A and B are shown apart, each in its own frame.
Chain A
Amino acid sequence: MTDNQFIEASSPHIHESASTKAIMLDVIIALIPALIASVVFFKIRALIIVVLSVVSCVLSELLWQKIFRQQSTIDDLSAVVTGILLAFTLPPTVPYYIPVVGGIFAIIIVKQIFGGIGKNFLNPALASRAFLMATWPAVMSKWTLDGVSTATPLELLKGASGNVPPIWQLFIGCTAGSVGETSALALIIGAVYLIYRKIITWEIPVAYVGTVFLLTLLFNDTATPFICASYQILTGGLLLGAIYMATDYTTSPVTKKGKYIMGIGCGILTCLLRTKGQMPEGVCYSILIMNLFVPMIERHTVPKTFGEVR
């Protein structure tokens, strides 16, 4: 036996049991409360949209990798996460071709063309939502609750006719809105899980939501600025975006300072788009714009190396 060769390799020789798949699985687990909430408020239609979007994403990735003879990455579950997140940004009334087309766009155009997982520079779910918004604006802004057409709380805040629902209703999620964005409670449960499992860190969500809260508090002319600011953070896709999209590994900074800049930048842009823009919502575009700055932010926030004298 002594003459037999053993494997030679560079250290380290042991490895934590972490894998990309395990991380994605944790993200999926964190999204389950919001998924349950969506089915409670938008019934079976919400589930169908999620399933269609996930299947479309996974099949797109599988097909692309078959055609180009690349090693399949579908079992890392990242396409499943993209599928769920994309579905969560869609109105529950959309025709079924929307999640299907959206899934194809997210995976092929935004992710695979740029080199697949870890190489895309825009968040696939959000870039796809922006594409769907631009292409099918009418179906992408038709909202219902319990089968009745209604404006979203954000539209109501911006002056659409109707009464703004009370805060507790927004917190639970019993309002009109996209499939997975309405229940603040469910999204926050997911956030606590992700932070506890060390999948994400607190910097981006807290900086993002905090910036929106503070800016609304400072710049509004209502008699109840505090309530107004609370409405801003509980409505629309802010929590969904801040917790699950702005923290997307590939399209957010890895440096601590960079994370603060990412969160604050998204917050400022969201406030600007929500108040000055034509559309009621600004989360999607804010994050996409900040995605473009990530390489630059990282270059300027390289931390001081241990022992470095600057």
Chain B
Amino acid sequence: METLTFKKGVHPSYNKELTEDRPVVELLPKEKAVFLMQQHTGAICQPIVKKGDRVLAGQMIADAVASISAPIHSSISGVVCDITEIPYTMGTSVPAIIIENDHEYKQAEPMHEQCNYWELSRENIIDIIHEAGIVGMGGAAFPTYIKLSPSNYEEIHSIILNGCECEPYITCDHKLMLDGAKKIVEGLNIMLHLFPNAKGYIGIEDNKMDAILAMQEAIDAVGVSSKIEVKILETKYPQGSEKQLISAILNREVPTGRLPADIGCIVQNVGTAYAIYEAVVEGKPLISRIVTVTGGAISHPQDFLVRVGTSFQELIDAAGGFTERPTKIISGGPMMGVTMPNTNVPITKATTAVLCLLKEETCIPDESNCIRCGRCVRACPMNLLPLYLDQFGRRGDIDRFKSINGTSCIECGCCAYVCPAHLRIVNTIRNAKREIRNNNNVKKVI
């Protein structure tokens, strides 16, 4: 089969061999589990339990108050011991519910009886997905039920499952495709049931041939080969970016400022499809996931099946601890992940990896002048001129920043990755975009 891809992008060292051949190990939290009230893109959740309450595994502990949000469930049984704010990435702090583990893992009643999803209505399924707290599990954590509720649902022609895992170091989706292929295919089939005119695609990079085979076997086993197709993609970053993935598989561009659904596409991570299956068929809310614990600082890099709320430190300990003190602790991959101030932060629904990088892996030298080599221009998958976005952003020239479509930047990091002057281009662009957003909000208020 031919290998598909998008235009431009970069080829970083993947370093997936650190965990690739090691099996997934299940890890249970120790004394406590910490549940952040914001594990998704959108509005923060409100606790619906209070200090001293007993909770069961799978019980809803915080609910969405706004439309773009997703409820949160406890992953363990125990007692709510505190509701407080904990320090999180880049100087922010996030409210959290802390639950003391009774180590009994008493399950709450399933959300509903085991059922055959063909008998459920569209609204029913979307309600289940909402209630199960499912969010995009590839890292961006957008609430899934919203993505599955476009107004033009009859016009949706393609549901693409994202199994690219283009970020270096991470192998959690790879493992899930090997171990849970059938559930992923069933999850996609549930989504196809929601969109009568859609065909399913599963996009996987060609550095995971075993996952490609496993998914193909599962498609045949479930008997859906007439409507679901595996697409082999070139191993290139950012292949797993939503717009780039659509471009690779369907050769279509999502217009600026529009959503994939506007051109009839919906992209979901393979982990999300797995969670949809568990919620709809087994009545289980989203309370666990696979996390890759890796990086040069980790003694024994490994993928773990963990419950949401487990602390980074417990995962690091389970992976043999540090060989050497890392410089950065990153939630997610090295290209788009976010740094964490300490290792007490918990796993969320969207944590793909705990990446502990040594100085020599992550240390980026000082910035020097842009020499206009054009490497960023040749790398940018959005076909932007990053050197100018950086220049205008630093100068505060927001009008010119907008005039060359700076707001289209997907912050994939290709430009900064290749820059020989080591300019923090993405950082500048992010700040400029934030300023534009704030200005727009001010305008709305006035």
A→B interface (CB under 8 Å): 1-16, 18-20, 22-23, 73, 76, 78, 115-119, 201, 249-250, 254-255, 302-309
A115 to B391, CA, bound (A): 15
B: interface residue count bin: 35 or more
B325 neighbours in A (Cβ, 8 Å): 1, 4
A18 to B420, CA, bound (A): 5
B373 touches A23 (CB 8 A): yes
Closest 6 CB pairs of A and B: A12-B413, A10-B427, A254-B374, A118-B369, A305-B405, A8-B339
A5 to B91, CA, bound (A): 11
Closest to A4 in B: B342
Q: Which of B7, B372, B405 contacts A254 (CB 8 A)?
A: B372
- Would you call the interface of chain A mostly helix, strand, loop, or mixed? loop
Q: Which of A10, A13, A249, A304 contacts B362 (CB 8 A)?
A: A13
A12 touches B334 (CB 8 A): yes
A2 touches B342 (CB 8 A): yes
A201 neighbours in B (Cβ, 8 Å): 374, 378
B288 within 8 A of A: no
Closest to A9 in B: B339
Closest to A252 in B: B372
B328 touches A9 (CB 8 A): yes
B327 touches A2 (CB 8 A): no
28 CB < 8 A contacts A-B: A6-B329, A6-B339, A8-B328, A11-B337, A12-B413, A13-B335, A13-B339, A13-B364, A14-B12, A14-B334, A14-B417, A18-B375, A18-B419, A19-B422, A20-B421, A73-B369, A250-B371, A250-B372, A255-B377, A302-B404, A305-B256, A305-B405, A305-B408, A306-B247, A306-B381, A306-B383, A307-B253, A308-B405
A115 neighbours in B (Cβ, 8 Å): 369
Known: A11-B335, A306-B382. A116 touches B362 (CB 8 A): no
A249 to B247, CA, bound (A): 31
A307 neighbours in B (Cβ, 8 Å): 243, 253-256, 258, 382, 408
B422 neighbours in A (Cβ, 8 Å): 15, 19
A118 touches B370 (CB 8 A): yes
A4 neighbours in B (Cβ, 8 Å): 325, 342
A119 neighbours in B (Cβ, 8 Å): 369
A116 to B7, CA, bound (A): 34
B343 within 8 A of A: yes
A73 to B12, CA, bound (A): 28
The smallest beta-carbon distance between B373 and chain A, in angstroms, is 5
A20 touches B362 (CB 8 A): no
B382 touches A305 (CB 8 A): yes
B421 neighbours in A (Cβ, 8 Å): 20, 118
Q: Which of A1, A15, A249, A304 contacts B364 (CB 8 A)?
A: A15
A195 to B321, CA, bound (A): 45
B256 touches A309 (CB 8 A): yes
A166 to B35, CA, bound (A): 82
A306 to B255, CA, bound (A): 8
Q: Which of B254, B336, B378, B387 contacts A11 (CB 8 A)?
A: B336
Q: Produce 1/0 per residue, B368-396, CB < 8 A to A.
A: 11111111011001111101000000000
Closest to B429 in A: A10
The smallest beta-carbon distance between B423 and chain A, in angstroms, is 10
B340 within 8 A of A: yes
A2 touches B344 (CB 8 A): yes
B258 neighbours in A (Cβ, 8 Å): 307
A6 neighbours in B (Cβ, 8 Å): 326-329, 339-343
A255 touches B385 (CB 8 A): yes
Extra 4 A-B pairs, beta carbons < 8 Å, given A16-B10, A306-B383: A20-B371, A20-B421, A73-B368, A250-B371
B193 within 8 A of A: no
B404 touches A20 (CB 8 A): no
Closest to B263 in A: A307
B322 neighbours in A (Cβ, 8 Å): 1
A12 touches B416 (CB 8 A): yes
The smallest beta-carbon distance between A78 and chain B, in angstroms, is 8
B357 neighbours in A (Cβ, 8 Å): 13-14
B206 within 8 A of A: no
Closest to B375 in A: A18
A22 neighbours in B (Cβ, 8 Å): 420
A12 touches B417 (CB 8 A): yes
B417 touches A15 (CB 8 A): yes
Q: Which of B334, B340, B342 contacts A3 (CB 8 A)?
A: B342
A12 to B425, CA, bound (A): 10
Q: Produce 1/0 per residue, B405-446, CB < 8 A to A.
A: 100100101001111111010110010000000000000000
Q: Which of A20, A23, A73, A201 has the most CB of B within 10 A?
A: A20
Closest to B376 in A: A254
A249 to B377, CA, bound (A): 13
A307 to B370, CA, bound (A): 27
The smallest beta-carbon distance between A48 and chain B, in angstroms, is 29
A249 to B419, CA, bound (A): 13
The smallest beta-carbon distance between B197 and chain A, in angstroms, is 23
